Structure 1
């Protein structure tokens, strides 16, 4: 299996999971756009998950396995559901790159409208509500209380993000796109004042969750998480909260209908957090720009022949 040094990974995993029963069988269940996720099954039929960076050309800051593992471990026992973790390996001699292990959480990953085609209307509605509840819960956690107080600077989140993604855009740029530079200029000139700081997931959407029975069972993909402006998460969620009548709606689970409107998401979040959402459209614009920079990195990895 590409990306897995079977013998060495098996030995390391056995040292962290005493009940593990080799041999292990690996399969890639996600990859390309971000870190690679493998499911592995032992001789008992028990499933686990391994996360590692993409193969080939990567930007180190966007694929920090130790940081991602630390966040998942810190959120255990909070109102934010995460998979159980089984350890982090920073010894690249084991698998060619750092990785960490998690328990396998059974359920549906609602990547698009087709994925939720059989989901009853009542479960769609309750899931939509739970998505907002969990986001509000995440933003209500005191980072210091869960050991994440030094995860990043809390102030000037938008300025830091604009700086980070403009640098990564430049590092992976393959052709001129003047609109990117112009959008960055407008975002800098119209930046709202940050009010408060929280743990910000960075990629909070239904496609990064495992769900079942109208509830989130686990929030996944914490690689972009940092401390900063919580409204950036909400703006990104709203961009992905497609409505059935919109072009391209089938690309999002909410495009199937029944999950509630963007207005209902904002009302529920505002009620839960008491935050002012009068400038939320700025955060939506920022999230579109940031996603373009991320997509360029994916395209660059494709051009150089990395997985995905």
Structure 2
């Protein structure tokens, strides 16, 4: 959905994109797109006519997104990685559902056009949504948003859109049954602790140390909100012209109903600012440039609009990087197994990147880099 994607292709490469189901059946590793089955699915839902052209777009570190064109119609197909998948991960049906629920809420989301829960089509569930033409800001500042005024406006829009999301009423309609806000934080710690052994082939003691510290220091959640789960500038699409405005929030894989500070913790723990140490999750480096809000200003703007106590924010920041280390380890393990053959940068870098994330999580937790059997400190009572 981001601009600047690769040129559209029309000839299958024989490994990740194949023409027919018969071609797919000859491969040792299942392809990501099977053109005849995708074409049939689009036909069944009256989405375009004629042959397909495609290009992979976005980071593709977890779920995989394709731009699909049929004649004059352009769509986006989003699917999970190749199976087998860890339990309760890469749930495309759930990801599509939260975006459908948020339609009309004021939170900008793409229109979901069709959902395929049938794994027999592509090996995993997937969905199709509208293609949006806009700006995703990562390592280059768009010319239209490059003035000092627009850099501030861009930062403000990141915070204000998060506040808007967290103000959606979760007690009514379909959101009332989308998640279980009670016990959300504890379930997160327990779930990701269990995922580590599934996702790794090595021993990193900081995972258990931090997991124990997080469990022992659970803060009290003050309210429930819709959580994006991966909220950062790189998952926002902006209009192409000034003033800086968010046109869509993308990539809802981690969405839930729970403690809103989990989103703020992730946004600020991964936020790049001048002088901050490099992070394996520094996915929007432009905020190191002059004119963008500093991390403390992001926090202050959020707090001023929500009135929430942020005394325990370091706990949420540690949680964010600890969780990130576990899903990044899954990416690294998939690469070791040969399941990401075209990934020559991100996944290999996680050999050192995951320990770096864990070390940065320790800093937020107030844990020194001493032996893993030390007694961890506790967050002060509030």
Tell me the TM-score normalized by structure 2.
0.76
Instruction: Calculate the aligned-residue CA RMSD, in Å.
Output: 1.8
| Structure 1 residues not aligned, in runs of 5+ | none
Q: Is the 8 A contact 2:82 2:123 kept in 1?
A: no
Q: Does 1:239 align with 2:264?
A: no
How far has the Cα of 1:217 moved from its partner? 1.3
Tell me the residue number matched to 1:138: 165
Q: Is the 8 A contact 1:40 1:50 kept in 2?
A: yes
Tell me the residue number matched to 1:48: 75
Could you give the per-residue CA deviations for residues 68-117 of structure 1, whole angstroms, max 9, x where no partner exists?
A: 00011111122211111101011222222211001111112223xx3226
Could you give the per-residue CA deviations for residues 186-241 of structure 1, whole angstroms, max 9, x where no partner exists?
A: 11222211111111111000111212331111111111111111101001000122
Q: Does 1:92 align with 2:122?
A: no
Q: Is the 8 A contact 2:83 2:123 kept in 1?
A: no
| Selected match of 1:36 from 44, 59, 64 | 64
Tell me the residue number matched to 1:166: 193
How far has the Cα of 1:32 moved from its partner? 4.2
Q: Is the 8 A contact 1:56 1:301 kept in 2?
A: no
Q: 1:137 to 1:146 in 2, by over 3 A?
A: farther
Could you give the per-residue CA deviations for residues 10-53 of structure 1, whole angstroms, max 9, x where no partner exists?
A: 121122235x1221111111354211100011112x32100011
Tell me the residue number matched to 1:115: 140
Residue 115 of structure 1: SS of its match in structure 2? coil
Q: Does 1:271 align with 2:304?
A: yes
Q: Does 1:74 align with 2:101?
A: yes
How far has the Cα of 1:273 moved from its partner? 1.3
Tell me the residue number matched to 1:12: 41
Bigger Rg, structure 1 or 2 = 2
Tell me the residue number matched to 2:254: 224
Greater helix percent: which structure? Answer: 1
Tell me the residue number matched to 1:297: 330
Structure of higher RCO (CA pairs closer than 8 Å, 6+ residues apart): 1
Tell me the residue number matched to 2:363: none
Question: Using the alignment, how far apart are the partners of 1:230 and 1:264 within structure 2?
Answer: 18
Could you give the per-residue CA deviations for residues 100-154 of structure 1, whole angstroms, max 9, x where no partner exists?
A: 001111112223xx32264413222112111111111111111243512222211
Tell me the residue number matched to 1:186: 213
Q: Is the 8 A contact 2:230 2:252 kept in 1?
A: yes
